[in-house]
A and B are shown apart, each in its own frame.
Chain A
Amino acid sequence: MSTSELETHAYDVVVIGAGGAGLRAAIASHESGARTAIVCKSLLGKAHTVMAEGGIAAAMGNVWPDDNWRVHFRDTMRGGKMLNHWRMAQLHAQEAPDRVLELEEWGALFDRTKDGLISQRDFGGHRYARLAHVGDRTGLEMIRTLQQRAVALGIDVFMECTVTKLLKDVDRIAGAFGYWRDSGRFVMFEAPAVVLATGGIGKSYRVTSNSWEYTGDGHALALDAGASLVNMEFVQFHPTGMVWPPSVRGILVTESVRGDGGVLRNSEGKRFMFDYIPEFFKGETADSEAEADRWYEDKKNNRRPPELLPRDEVARAINSEIKAGRGSPHDGIFLDIASRRDAAFIQRRLPSMYHQFKELADVDITAEAMEIGPTCHYVMGGVEVDPDTGVSVVPGLYAAGEVAGGMHGSNRLGGNSLSDLLVFGRRAGLHAGYFAYRHRRRPVRVHQQQVNAAAEAAVAPFAQDGGENPYTLQRELQEVMQELVGIIRTEDELTESLRKLADLRRRAGELSVEGHRQYNPGWHLALDLPNMLTVSECIAMAALERTESRGGHTREDFPGTDESWGGINLILTNDAGGELSLQRQDLPRMPDELHELFEVK
C-alpha cells in the first residue's frame, strides 16, 4: 500500500482508549499544549468505565475525618498483599482526592453528605468509608464528565477505530496503525508519543463481567512494541456476579450491596464468611455477627464484617462453599440485603442493581436474596511503567488504567480502579505531552514496511475459505481459561492450558471470515483473537511460575503465601524470535518512612 492512499494523521500524542484513563490522559495531554487525539474501538462514552458502579476511592475525609492518604496507602498495599509498586500506591493515595474534586469542577454531581460535601461509602478492604459515588452508577458519571470535558476542549476523537499495531522508529514509538470499524479502511497515526489506555483482558474467560472490548489489545500491542508486562498471573475474580438466568451469568453485582449492609449466606442460611477470616486480617475483622452489624454505625469501637474482606478472600470462600455442596440452586451463593435494609433504602442506594435484577432475572432484591457467584472482573497485571510518568521501557510509549500494571499488586481493592484511572491517566497524558515537546526537533519517521505488514496481517482472514470460525475459537479459548486458569490453579492444569493455547494459536492462523470489510464483527473478532491468545499465554505462564498463593493467584498445590515470593515480580517480554519470555525481577523497595506504617503497634 502506498502512503498516498492511506488515511494519515499527525499528532503529538495519540491516546488509545476512551475510558476513564484515556479521557483523563487526553485532557492532560491537551492541557500540556500537545496536539492530541483519542482513538477508541466503541462509540465515545461506551468504554468499560461506563459500567463501573460502586465508586471512586479517595481519602477526602468527608465522612471520616481521620482518613488520610497514609491510611488509604496502607489499605491498598495490604489489599495487594504487599506486591504493589509502593510508589504507585503512594501517588495514588495522595492525588486521588484532587482528581475527584476536579470531576466536580467539570460538572459531576456526586451524592452529598448532610453538610453538602461529596458523600463516601464503605467498600471491602478500605478502613474508612471512602468511595465517592453516585448511587450505583459512578462509572457513568465519571465517563460522561470526562467525555464532556474532552469535547469542550475540542480534542479530536476517532471513534469505532481499532488500533492493530504500534509503529516504531528504531527504538522509539512512531505512531499507530488501525482500521475504521464502519468502513474497514485503514488509518495511520504518526506520533512521537502514544498512551495506551485500552483496559483489560476479561473476555478471555467464559464467566466475566467484561464486554467484547476486553481482548487485551493494549497488553499485546505493548509486548509487540518491545514493552514488558508485570504481574500477569493476578486476575481478579469478583465474588459477586449474577449466576441466573444463564444469559446474564457473570454480569456484575456491585460490592456496594455488601458495603451498604448486604451479607452472604449459604444454603443453610449461615453467614459463612466468619469461617474464612485469614490470619493476616484477623486483627481488623469482626468475629461475631453482633460486632459486624454494629460496625456500620460505630466504626471506632467495632471491626469490619468479614463480607468486606478483600475480593480474593471472599471469592475463594464462596468457591469453597459451593464446592462443599452448600451453594444455591444455580451453583451460586446467596447475597441478602432484603432482610437487612428496608426497601426504600435499597432503591435509593442501589437503583441500578434493583433495576438489573428486576428486568433480567425477575428478582426483587428488596424482597428476596440474590444468587451470586465469582466472575472474572479485572486484571492486576499489565504494562510495566515508571510510577511518576507512566512511561514503559519503550521511549514514547505510555500506559495508564487497567492496561498498566504494578499499582494493585496481587489484588485490587474496589474503588481503587476509578481513582487509578484519574491519577495515572493524568500523569501519563502530561508526560506524553512533555515527551513530544522535548523531542520536537527529532521527529519520528514511519517505516513503510511496517505499515505494509500491518495492512497485510489485517486482511489475512479474508484470504482463505473454509478455515476456522473465529466465534468457535473464541468460545474454546474461554473454556480453556475458565477451566484451567481460573480461580484455583494447579501445575497440571496450567501445563495443560499452555498446550491447549498453543494449539489454539496454531488454529488462529487459519481463520476465515465471511462478507466484506464494512462493519464486520466476525473480522473484528478474528483480529482480536491473537491478542486474547497472547494475554492468556502470559497469564498461564506466570501462574505456572509462581509457586505460591497470593491475592488473585491461588495454587491448590501451593496453598500458602510464601515469603520468598513476596519480593518478586514476574516480567514478560517478547524475545528476539517473537516468543514470550519470563523473568523474575526484584520488587522495588519501599522507603523506611512508609514501611513504618505497617509495623504493628
Chain B
Amino acid sequence: MGYPLSMRLWRGDRDGGALQDFTVEVEEGEVVLDAIHRVQATQAGDLAVRWNCKAGKCGSCSAEINGRSRLMCMTRLSDFGHEDVITVTPLRAFPVVRDLVTDVSYNYVKARELPAFAPTPPDADGKRRMMQQDVERGQEFRKCIECFLCQNTCHVIRDHEENKPAFAGPRFFLRYAELDMHPLDTHDRRELAQSAAGIGLCNITKCCTEVCPENIKITDNAIIPMKERVVDRKYDPLVWLGTKIRRRDDRTEL
C-alpha cells in the first residue's frame, strides 16, 4: 500500500545550501532512489542526482542516507518506518557540484597515478593459464563498482582535505592488492603503495569495509595483507643489504 513519505533532501551548490522538506507518495517495495525520482518528476524537475543501473551494479547513486554512506538504489524504504523522515545528503568527502551530486574527480586522479598491469608473455598457443584458486582473491577485489563510499567514509580524508594528495584511499589499496596478488603481473608496486598511495596512513579502522555495498573485505583481505607485503619488502634481507643481485622475486620494482 502506498503512503506519504517525508524526506529532507540537501539542495544547493558550491556556494552553500540547506535541507529542504518534501512529502512524496511512495509504494511498497520501493527504494530511496524511486522516491527521489518521484520528487524530481513532480515537484523539483531540476533536482540533481546521479544514477544509471538502479540495481547496485554501476556505483553511481552514492549518497548519505540518514548520515550513512549508501547506494540510493539499494536502500529500501521498508528499512524505515512509515513515520520516519529520510534525510539524504551528498557525499561529504567530495566537493558538492549541485544537490546530491558531488565532484568525485579525486578518485579518477588517483586511478591515473597507479601503474598499469604488466603481464608475462602468453604460452606458446597464445593463451594464458591461471588456476581458479589463484584468481579468486583478485576477483573479489574486482567486484568493486567504484561507488567511492569507502573513500567517503575513510576518516583519513573525510574531514582532512590536506591528506588527499598523499593518500589514495581504500578503493585503490584494493587495486594495489589486486595487482600484487595477480599471478602473472611482472611489476612490484609495494614501494609505491607506501610512498605514493600512503597505505601507511591507514590505521585499520575497517570503516571502509562496513560500507562497501559489494561486501568486499577491504581491510582484512586487501589492506592488511598489503601492509604485510610492504613490510616484508622492507625487511627482505637482500633488499635491505642494498644488493640488486637477486630480488626476493623477479618482478620489476616500480
Q: Is A338 an interface residue (CB 8 A)?
A: no
Q: Is A289 an interface residue (CB 8 A)?
A: no
Measured CA separation A213–B54 after assembly (Å):
12
Cβ of A514 within 8 Å of any chain B Cβ, yes or no, is yes
Taking CB atoms, residues of chain A closer than 8 Å to B27 are 245-247
Say whether B135 contacts A101, CB under 8 Å: no
Q: A46-B59, A513-B45, A522-B40 in contact; A148/B76 too (CB < 8 A)?
A: no
Known: A182-B98, A248-B29, A519-B98. A151 touches B111 (CB 8 A): yes
Take A140-B145, A245-B28, A245-B30 as given contacts and tell me if A518 and B50 are in contact as well, using a CB distance cutoff of 8 Å. Answer: no
Residues 270-309 of A, flagged 1 when their CB comes within 8 A of B and 0 if not, give 0000000000000000000000000000000000000000
Q: Which of B28, B49, B76 contacts A359 (CB 8 A)?
A: B76
CA distance A45 to B107 in the complex (A): 12
Q: Mark contacts of B90-117 with chain A using CB atoms, 8 A cut-off: 1 yes-contact digit, 0 otherwise.
A: 0000000111010110001001100011
Give A523 to B45 CA distance when docked, in angstroms.
Answer: 8
Contacts of B50 in A (CB 8 A): 42-43
Q: How far is the CA of A116 from the CA of B127 in the complex (A)?
A: 10
Whether A91 sits at the interface, judged by CB under 8 Å, is: no
Given A106-B117, A518-B13, A519-B98, CB of A116 within 8 Å of CB of B57: no
Counting CB contacts under 8 A, is B231 at the interface? no
Within 8 A of A (CB), among B29-57: 29-31, 34, 40-42, 44-57
- Name the one of A117, A134, A140, A152 contacting B116, with C-beta atoms under 8 angstroms: A152
A245, B29: Cβ atoms closer than 8 Å = yes
Establish whether residues A521 and B47, one from each chain, have CB atoms under 8 Å apart when the complex forms: yes
- Set of chain A residues within 8 Å of B30, measured between Cβ atoms: 245-247
> With A46-B52, A115-B129 known to touch, is A469 a contact of B29 (CB < 8 Å)?
no
Q: Which residues of A contact B44 (CB under 8 A)?
A: 514
Residues A360 and B34 in contact, CB atoms below 8 Å apart: no
Residue B142, interface by CB 8 Å: yes
Bound CA–CA A86/B227 (angstroms): 54
Q: Is A596 positioned at the interface, with any CB of B under 8 Å from its CB?
A: no
| A149 is an interface residue with CB less than 8 A from chain B | yes
- A518 contact set on B, CB distance < 8 A: 13, 48, 97-98
Does A64 touch B at the CB level, under 8 Å?
no
Given known contacts A360-B74, A519-B99, is B52 in contact with A211 (CB within 8 Å)? yes
Q: Which residues of A contact B54 (CB under 8 A)?
A: 211, 248, 251
| A46-B58 in contact (CB<8A) | yes
Question: Is residue A126 contacting chain B, with contact meaning CB distance below 8 A?
Answer: no
A368 at the interface (CB under 8 A from B): no
- Assembly CA distance A359 to B139 (angstroms): 22
**In the complex the two chains form, is B58's CB within 8 Å of A51's CB?**
yes
Q: Does B189 contact A (CB under 8 A)?
A: no
Are A109 and B48 closer than 8 Å at their CB atoms?
A: no
CA distance A458 to B60 in the complex (A): 25
- Nearest CB of chain A from residue B151's CB, rounded to whole Å: 14
Confirm or deny: B122 has a beta carbon within 8 angstroms of a beta carbon on chain A. yes
How far is it, in angstroms, between the C-alpha of A42 and the C-alpha of B50 when the chains are bound?
8
Which residues from 231 to 258 on chain A have a C-beta closer than 8 Å to any C-beta of chain B? Answer: 244-248, 251-252
Q: Which of A110-124 contact B (CB under 8 A)?
A: 110-112, 115-118
A316 at interface, CB cutoff 8 A: no
Answer whether residue A105 sits at the interface, using C-beta atoms and an 8 A cutoff.
yes
Which of B34, B58, B139 has a CB less than 8 Å from the CB of A109? B139
Is the beta-carbon distance between A360 and B31 smaller than 8 angstroms? yes
Contacts of A11 in B (CB 8 A): none
B241 at interface (Cβ–Cβ under 8 A)? no
Q: How many residues of chain B have a CB within 8 Å of chain A? A: 59
Q: Which of A144, A152, A470 contacts B45 (CB 8 A)?
A: A470
Contact B139 A134 (CB under 8 A): yes
B143-160 Cβ-contact flags toward A at 8 Å (1 or 0): 111100000000000000
Contact status B46-A515, CB under 8 Å: yes
Instruction: Give B123-146 as 1s and 0s: 1 = Cβ < 8 Å from A's Cβ atoms.
Output: 000111111100100110011111
Select A514's contact among B28, B46, B58, beta carbons within 8 Å.
B46
Contact check, B29 vs A246: say whether CB atoms are below 8 A apart.
Answer: yes
Decide if B46 touches A522 in the complex (CB within 8 Å).
Answer: yes
Q: Does B190 count as interface, using CB distance less than 8 angstroms?
A: no
Known A-B contacts A45-B146, A112-B132, A182-B98; A101 and B119 likewise in contact (beta carbons under 8 Å): no
Taking CB as reference atom, which chain A residue is nearest B97?
A: A182
* A495 on the B face (CB < 8 A): no
Chain B residue contacts of A356, Cβ below 8 A: 55-56
Q: Is A598 positioned at the interface, with any CB of B under 8 Å from its CB? A: no
B4 CB to closest chain A CB (Å) equals 17
Q: A51-B57, A112-B132, A519-B101 are in contact. Are A471 and B52 (CB under 8 A)?
A: no
Residues of A within 8 A of B128 (CB): 101, 104-105
- A566 interface residue, CB < 8 Å from B? no
A245–B139 Cα gap in the complex (Å)?
A: 31
Q: In A323-366, which residues have CB < 8 Å from any B CB?
A: 352, 355-356, 359-361
Interface pair B29/A116, CB less than 8 Å apart: no
A137 adjacent to chain B (CB < 8 Å): yes
Question: In A40-88, which residues have CB < 8 Å from any B CB?
Answer: 42-48, 50-51, 62
Contact with A along B52-70 (1 / 0, CB 8 A): 1111111110000000000
Question: Once bound together, how far apart are the Cα atoms of A48 and B59, in whole Å?
Answer: 12
In the complex, chain A residues 465-517 whose Cβ is within 8 Å of any chain B Cβ: 469-472, 475, 513-516
Asked if A267 is at the interface (CB within 8 A of a chain B CB), the reply is no
The answer, yes or no, to whether A520 is at the interface (CB within 8 Å) is yes
Is A107 part of the contact surface with B, judged by Cβ < 8 Å? yes
Known: A42-B60, A523-B46. A212 touches B28 (CB 8 A): no
A313 near B: Cβ within 8 Å? no
Q: A112-B130, A117-B129 are in contact. Are A46 and B60 (CB under 8 A)?
A: yes
**Contact indicator B142/A144 (Cβ below 8 Å):** yes
Q: Which residue of A lies closest to B127 (CB)?
A: A117
* Chain B residue at minimal CB-CB distance from A42: B52
- Interface presence of A528 (CB below 8 A): no
Residues of B within 8 A of A522 (CB): 40, 45-46
Question: When the two chains form their complex, are residues A211 and B53 in contact, meaning their CB atoms are under 8 A apart?
Answer: yes
Complex Cα distance, B53 from A213, in Å, reads 10
CB distance from A495 to the nearest CB of B (A): 30
A548 in the interface (beta carbon within 8 A):
no
Q: Shortest CB–CB separation between residue A161 and chain B, in angstroms?
A: 13
Contact in complex: A182, B116 (CB < 8 Å): no
Among residues of B, the one whose C-beta sits closest to the C-beta of A525 is B45
Closest to A144 in B: B142
Task: Please tell me if A402 contacts chain B, counting CB pairs below 8 Å.
Answer: no
B56 touches A151 (CB 8 A): no
Contact flag A471-B142 (CB < 8 Å), given A115-B129, A247-B29: no
Chain A residue at minimum C-beta to C-beta distance from B101: A519
Query: Is there an interface contact between B127 and A471, defined as CB atoms closer than 8 Å?
Result: no
List 4 other contacts, CB 8 Å, given A137-B57, A248-B29: A107-B182, A111-B132, A513-B45, A515-B45
A-B CB contact pairs (8 Å), 7 listed? A101-B127, A101-B128, A140-B57, A470-B45, A516-B46, A518-B48, A520-B45
The list of the 3 closest CB pairs from A to B, nearest first, reads A245-B29, A515-B46, A522-B45
